Structure 1
Amino acid sequence: MKLQISSGDRQILLEAAAASPQAEVCGLLLGQNRDGAGRVESLVPARNVAADPARSFEIDPATLLATHRAARGQGRQVIGHWHSHPNGRTAPSTRDAARATENGQIWLIIAGGEVTAWVPHATGPGPATFQPIAIEVA
């Protein structure tokens, strides 16, 4: 699988993470995701409402619902979400694996000046595993 993202959107993600070095930032991805290829068309920033935003993220439910409604009304698709790792690790964390489900959604992780893409796979009971996705910056 491959994911296309514009250089401008990639820069927005890097700047959002750099502006919040002590807490995870997060948001939603709108775009297309089919036939093993995805394309990010826009980013929707969201407030991180997690109890411990320095170590985890939870997208503000109001933003989540409003974004899904708006996307449906416009014939668009929420293809995943993004969040940062202030610890600098670009791979999904143990917390990420515990919360992930195999639903085709893309996870972008911003850390250490990099953006990585992942898709979770359920392997039975217990945490999900993640497969990396190649990112093509356009």
Structure 2
Amino acid sequence: MIYLLDLNYTLVANSPQRGTPPTRPFIRQIEQEEYRQWLVDLLRPHQVILITARPNRYREVTLARIKEKCGWEPMDAYFAEISAYPNLIKEHLLKTHIFPQYGAEGSGYFGLESNPRTRAMYARYGIRAIRVTDAELTEIPV
């Protein structure tokens, strides 16, 4: 099983409330991010792909911050290459990168995803997904 891990509102515990403007410059927001360590601890032994609508130009600094704060890094990470709604960005990343590299069988993936439109898109590909909240999971769904 490969876990598709959403960044904002899933791994990031202190994402800004929806509708509020992001911190500027955006790099400052990344520097202030805190991550759900309990989620990282559950995912640590598994294959995890970070998939995010965050622009690709923030890839290196974001991954470095996660590694610094959590002592962990995903096996792979994909950041937005196009400008679109998050579900469309993630569908593009699935079709362009993830499926060609890891296989297109939806049952081989499980999404940990905050966005309901992205969860619906995953479902069209046969990928089960759940929303992660501050209520800690005790095990990763399979």
Which category describes the TM-score, using the shorter chain as reference length?
A: 0.3 to 0.5
Q: What is the TM-score of this pair, normalised by structure 2? A: 0.34
Write 1 or 2 for the structure with the bigger share of strand: 1
Q: What is the TM-score of this pair, normalised by structure 1? A: 0.34
Write 1 or 2 for the structure with the bigger share of helix: 2
